[in-house]
Structure 1
């Protein structure tokens, strides 16, 4: 853990989490109206194309699934995901002072002034204003990113659920403001977001250990006779496999329980979201096939394995 950052176990409300971030860096949030002239359409179009490239390079599964969205929705959702990706990188890729780096980024994100010098923020500003995206949900997302700087252990699945909600479920809730959704869709989006993030956590156990992070809740580790130190020491035995089997089965259940929510989306958005869910679920299948080893390898699907899931998915989605 870096100097000045505590190993807080219980998450804070979003406003307090962001306030802590600014307190640690002594940076005030930026305020003020944006009095600069609007950007020309060509500059905004270039910003969206840049976001497309970010997603193509860093999130191939998401790039594939969003291909099935109509153009306007596709470019808006990709701009949002590029924004999420860059925000996440300020935590994971910062080499000097990640707390200050994230605080400065949050300043720019929350400022009403358009950041015309950054293509991701330019496309994001256009998207959030065009679709009137919820500022409160954006703050929840930013608070989730900030949690990675103040929390590296979780005692309960309830605590981890809040983290997953902030960094993944909120992404789904905001995306639905772009795609549209029928009343009652939110609970399904929340469960799908938690399932997606749990999939990331389960396949990245070894990668997270390198950063000194253990997302697996202590209550689950102890249930199978394990400890934080066992994970940090890469213990791979029947206890670990049993614990991982439990985590995978719980995540499968979340995917199952979220599936009905696909039918509450507009028809032009259903296949895209369903593809993301089915491809990510396939990552768990790959993890199971390799006996839950997430220390020495990262579970994934090849491009052809992803494509092979689409014909069956097309029939499943038509049932709604």
Structure 2
């Protein structure tokens, strides 16, 4: 591919995204960059798990910059609508990440992120790993085994947990290991919740080996034909994800109060998705399972109560 062809792909890709995502002609100041990231984070707050307002105020700018990086990276891979254009933009975003680590940031996300990287001493790997997952999305749409799905989660979900731990001052292997269980479990819960949504994008995350084991053909999903075999497949996958959540729960007791509250909400929210699937008798082909506002409020109160009790015990 020639340089001009690459530029054309990038330009067409930018045209499919919000104008504010483009690299500006003038490099913003740190204050301007932080405001940019905050606006982006707060405009997507319903999906914003990592920059919870329960975390210390001093850390919020760092979580804003991480969220903004994750948000735009995800959109480059998922909102363009053309794989070649997405790959070209992701390559460009990788170049900007590399430039950020050289001290040559241009985009407001990377100007803000550079300060987060400096203050929290974050290596490049977790940021780069996320881009690996978004590139895979352009070419890999089926997964043979659960190990293959978890291999994808290793790039698509687990780096986010590592970034959260880095910002909060944790860098040990045991906490990373437990975080990986939680992040992969949440990714699985989202996959099981969004079987029809993902199929509309040409993707199936249910392992093919599991589908064959339970006698479920791809046509069942395509036709939204809820069969007893599909119900048993989903029952199995929901239980698998629940066990992964449970393996990650000890992390909540190994971090400070503020992060513990977020992790508790994070894990319980994922478990609640699984419960919502069960409440629909595992029929995710009929309607996307959702958590009601009442249940969300109950989860919040439960987490707050746990935090209060932990502080009293301390």
Query: TM-score under structure 2 normalisation?
Result: 0.81
Shift of 1:223: 1.4
* Cα distance change of structure 1 residues 156 and 63 upon mapping to structure 2, 3 Å threshold: closer
1:98 aligns with 2:86: yes
Cα 1:247–1:217 change in 2 (3 A) is same
Matches within 5 A, 1:289-304: 289-304=279-294
Contact 1:61 1:276 (8 Å CA) reproduced: no
Change (3 A) 1:222 1:108: same
Q: Which of 72, 80, 93 matches 1:86?
A: 72
Which shows bigger deviation, 214-223 or 284-293? Answer: 284-293
2:261 maps to: 271
Paired residue total: 286
* Structure 2: runs of 5+ lacking an equivalent: 8-26
Displacement of 1:190: 0.6
Is the Cα–Cα contact under 8 Å of residues 224 and 286 in structure 2 kept in the other structure?
A: no
Q: Deviations over 1:191-232 (max 9, x none)?
A: 001011111111111111111111111111111101334333
RMSD: 2.8
Q: How much has 1:81 moved relative to structure 2?
A: 1.9
CA shift in 2, pair 1:170/1:299, >3 Å: same
- Between the aligned partners of 2:42 and 2:283, the Cα distance in structure 1 is 27
2:217 to 223, 227, 230: 227
Name the residue aligned to 1:76. 62
How far is the alpha carbon of 1:270 from its aligned partner? 1.1
Shift of residue 136 of structure 1?
A: 2.0
Determine if the alignment matches structure 1 residue 281 to structure 2 residue 271.
yes
Alignment-derived partner of residue 163 in structure 1:
152
Contact 1:155 1:217 (8 Å CA) reproduced? yes
The answer to whether the 8 A contact 1:212-1:232 is kept is no
Contact 1:94–1:101 (CA<8 Å) still a contact in 2? no
- For residues 65 and 120 of structure 1, do their structure 2 counterparts lie closer, same or farther at Cα, with a shift above 3 Å needed? closer
1:154 partner SS: coil
Q: Is the 8 A contact 1:44 1:123 kept in 2?
A: yes
- 2:16 corresponds to: none
Contact 2:165 2:171 (C-alpha < 8 Å) held by counterparts = no
CA contact (8 A) 1:160 1:215 kept: yes
- What is the 5 A alignment of 1:117-156? 118-156=107-145
Displacement after TM superposition at 1:261 (Å): 0.9
> Quick check: 2:189–2:270 contact (8 Å CA) kept in 1?
yes
Is 1:79–1:127's contact at 8 Å kept on the other side of the alignment? yes
The 1:139–1:63 alpha-carbon spacing in structure 2 relative to 1, beyond 3 Å, is closer
Shift of 1:158: 0.5
Q: 1:122 to 1:300 in 2, by over 3 A?
A: farther
Match of residue 44 from structure 2 = 58
Q: Which runs of 4+ in 1 moved over 4 A?
A: 317-320
Distance (Å, rounded) in 1 between the aligned partners of 2:265 and 2:288: 20
Contact 1:283 1:299 in 2 (8 A): yes
Q: Give 1:31's aligned residue.
A: none
Aligned to 1:239: 229
Q: Which runs of 5+ in 1 are unaligned?
A: 5-23, 27-38
Relative to structure 2, which stretch is displaced further, 257-266 or 305-314?
Answer: 305-314
